[in-house]
Each structure stands twice: as C-alpha cells, then as structure tokens.
C-alpha cells in the first residue's frame, strides 16, 4: 500500500532526514542520534507530567503521550522522536488484564503458560485492535503535526542544516518478548515459562506466537499509517534463546509481525522526472534485542533494514557477524552515562569509530536510558556525536 501524500515520508519531510537516510545505508553531514527510553523518568518534565497518572493511562491519553514523546526531542535535539507507549499497550487495548508496576514492568492478572491459557487468549480477535486504536492514531498525529511545524533539531554547534522535519519512530514488542511476559504473567529473569512452553507444547506455542505477531504487527502498522517514518521491533529478551530455538520457534513470528508494515511504501520522484515512472521505497525497519550477539545475523535475516546492537558486542564485530552492507544502530553502554565526562567522551568517540565499519550508523545506547541519568549529560552526548562525526 502506498502511504497517503500527507504522510511525512510521502510528503518528502522525513524521507531525506539523517535518520531515514542512515536506515537505508546512506551517511549524512553528521551521524544521527537518539536514545532508547529517551522519554521517561530521566526527565523532570516527564516526572511532573506523570504525577497522579498511571503508566498505561498516560500511554492512552493522546495529549499526554504526544507531549511526553516531544519532550526529549525539544530538550536534547535528537534526530528522532520515539513514540511514547509500551509494548503491552496493544494487549491492554484488546482487553487483556495488564498493568505496569513502577520499578517492575508489565504484570498480568494471570500467566498464559499452557494450552488452555493460550486458547483463552487467542480467542480474542487481534483485528479488534484496529477499532481500539484511536488513542494511538490521535497521539501519533499530534506528535507528527508538531514535528512538522518545528525545524529539525540540526547538529547543535555542528550546524543545523537538516532539511524537512524530525522523523518519529514507531515501535512494537516482538512476539517472543511479549510471550515472555505473557507466559510468566509478569517480568522474569530467564523467561523460563515461555521457553518451557515452546518445547513442551509446540502447537500451543505457535498459536501464542501467531496471535501475538498479528496483534503487535497491527500496533506497528497503526503508528506508521498515523505518521511514523520508521518502525523498530524490540525483541528485548531474545538473548535468552539459542540460535536454533530462535530460528525455529521465534523468527517466523517476528517475520509475520513485520509483514504488517513491509507493504507500506512511499513514492520518490524519478530522476528522469517521468511522473509515470515513480519509484517506491518501503518504510525502514530496525530490529533490536539485548544480549543477542549470537543472533545478530538471524535477526537481520527476518527482513529488516537496520540491526540495533546492544553494548556487549563492539559495532565492528557486529558488522562482521551480520555481513556487509547492513546499517547498524547502537551501542554505548548506558552505565557510562554516569561516568566522569572524559571517560564517557572517549567511549562515545570509540562507538562512532567502530560504527564506521557499517555503511551507515545511528548512534544510540546499547539499551535504555537508566532513570537516574542526568539529562544534561544526554544533551551533551548528542552535541558530541554531532560535532565528532561532522
């Protein structure tokens, strides 16, 4: 499907942004940078806004979700916003009983660790998400309207000659990471319930993964249709799996989830100016997981443009493992944000240096911003990335 002409990619507002160019393997004037969990508790303006509102209620209140998404873009002048939401929001929207407990994460009223539980869950039609998605569509619309009305962040001291507007990244949880919470009924260290179900009852496991893939795929599609210019699939806990289990029991469902955005394309003017000969490009997709050093190639093979790398593997090693020609995103160890500036600065420079081994690099952390992070340090890292890569 061709995205409507007013979509930021179709309108040419974000299609040549540093971020979108990097995701298709092209380098720009400077290396683009954003941070996983850039919106959230590290920002005092976020903590102020959230007082008295539960996490999932904040996600489903469009004005609040939009404002929280924009806060780090304004403050840090990052090259992308990431939609403020959560991987369990689509579950909540179709009626699954889930809440997010501060300091803990998603907690369900029960676990779905056997065939009976899976049958109950999968009796819910994932297509119901589309009828319940109005708060998502409205929040994304508000974010994109403001991003389009504001000049892009630019490179701070290194120049602000970025054309168009700042892109918004939409995201969703990969089926395995969602299943890891669903099977257990909440957060766990090793995701044992999910890994047991996978082998004990492969049929029930497949049903759970298929259902989750459709639900999370629809969530991602909704965000792109509403105006997001890229999509990131978080398989945060895939690092708990062997390569064989990932390939057999998980990758097919992740491929299915991405099928909900792979058909979304935008037209680019043909170099010859022949209107009838317009070429199309699809929406860029990023795939990220934690502790997935052994899985990087397989995570690329599910059909993504860019691979997000956590902090355990240097980017040049990741580039070797994945193979030539794949843009990388990452991978500063978040722990370094609390280190003295000279230590942090040299680590940032090293990440940029190693990122040169990929055709293009989007600077990020190797996982999310820790809540205790001093936000002025994040702003300084953005400036350093822009200056050092110029």
Residues that bind ligand CP3 (CB under 6 A): 36-41, 55, 82, 84, 86-87, 100, 102-106, 171, 177, 234, 236, 368
Q: Which is nearer to ligand CP3, 55 or 226 (CB)?
A: 55
Strand partners, 328: 307, 361
Q: Which is nearer to ligand CP3, 106 or 156 (CB)?
A: 106
- Please list the alpha-helical segments (H only) found in 227-280: 243-245, 251-262
Measured CA to CA, the distance from residue 330 to residue 34 in angstroms comes to 9
Cβ at position 250, least distance to ligand CP3 in Å:
15
Cβ at position 40, least distance to ligand CP3 in Å:
3
Q: Which is nearer to ligand CP3, 289 or 327 (CB)?
A: 289
Q: Which is nearer to ligand CP3, 24 or 41 (CB)?
A: 41
Measured CA to CA, the distance from residue 322 to residue 307 in angstroms comes to 9
The count of C-alpha atoms lying within 13 angstroms of the C-alpha of 73, restricted to the half-sphere facing its C-beta, is: 25
Q: Which is nearer to ligand CP3, 92 or 266 (CB)?
A: 92
Cβ at position 279, least distance to ligand CP3 in Å:
31
Q: Which is nearer to ligand CP3, 177 or 266 (CB)?
A: 177
Cβ at position 104, least distance to ligand CP3 in Å:
6
Phi then psi for residue 386, to 5 deg, are -65, -45
Q: First vs last Cα of the chain: how many Å apart?
A: 37
Provide CB contacts within 8 A for 125, sequence distance 6+: 94
Cβ at position 330, least distance to ligand CP3 in Å:
13
Bond prior to 152 in cis (omega within 30° of 0): no
Cβ at position 69, least distance to ligand CP3 in Å:
8
Compute the residue count for the chain: 390
Identify the burial level of 193 via C-beta atoms within 10 angstroms of its C-beta, where 0-12 means exposed, 13-18 middle and 19 or more buried: buried
């Amino acid at each position: 499907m061709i995205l409507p002409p007013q979509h930021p990619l179709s309108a040419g507002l974000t299609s040549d942004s540093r971020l979108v160019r990097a995701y298709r393997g092209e380098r720009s004037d400077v290396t683009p940078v954003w941070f996983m969990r850039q919106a959230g508790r590290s920002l005092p303006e976020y903590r102020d806004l959230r007082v008295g509102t539960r996490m999932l209620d904040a996600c489903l209140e469009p004005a609040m979700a939009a404002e929280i998404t924009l806060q780090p873009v304004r403050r840090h002048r990052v090259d992308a916003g990431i939609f403020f939401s959560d991987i369990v929001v689509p579950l909540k929207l179709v009626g699954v009983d889930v809440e997010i407990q501060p300091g803990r994460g998603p907690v369900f009223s029960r676990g779905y660790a056997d065939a009976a539980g899976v049958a109950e869950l999968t009796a819910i039609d994932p297509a119901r998400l589309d009828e319940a998605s109005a708060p998502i569509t409205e929040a994304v619309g508000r974010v994109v309207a403001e991003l389009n009305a504001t000049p892009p962040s630019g490179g701070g001291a290194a120049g602000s000659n970025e054309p168009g507007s700042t892109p918004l990244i939409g995201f969703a949880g990969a089926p395995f990471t969602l299943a890891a919470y669903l099977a257990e009924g909440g957060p766990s260290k090793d995701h044992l319930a999910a890994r047991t179900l996978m082998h004990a009852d492969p049929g029930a496991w497949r049903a759970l993964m298929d259902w989750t893939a459709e639900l999370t795929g629809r969530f991602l599609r909704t965000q792109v249709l509403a105006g997001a210019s890229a999509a990131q699939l978080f398989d945060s806990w895939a690092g708990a799996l062997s390569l064989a289990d990932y390939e057999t029991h998980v990758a097919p469902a992740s491929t299915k989830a991405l099928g909900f955005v792979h058909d979304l394309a935008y037209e680019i003017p043909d170099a010859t100016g022949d209107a009838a000969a317009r070429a199309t490009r699809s929406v860029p997709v990023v795939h990220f997981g934690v502790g997935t050093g052994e899985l990087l190639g397989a995570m690329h093979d599910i059909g993504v443009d860019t691979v997000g790398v956590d902090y355990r593997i240097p980017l040049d090693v990741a580039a070797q493992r994945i193979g030539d020609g794949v843009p990388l995103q990452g991978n500063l160890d978040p722990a370094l944000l609390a280190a003295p500036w000279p230590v942090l600065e040299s680590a940032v420079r090293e990440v940029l240096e190693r990122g040169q081994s990929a055709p293009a690099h989007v600077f990020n952390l190797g996982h999310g911003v820790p809540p205790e992070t001093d936000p002025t340090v994040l702003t300084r890292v953005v400036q350093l990335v822009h200056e050092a890569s110029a």
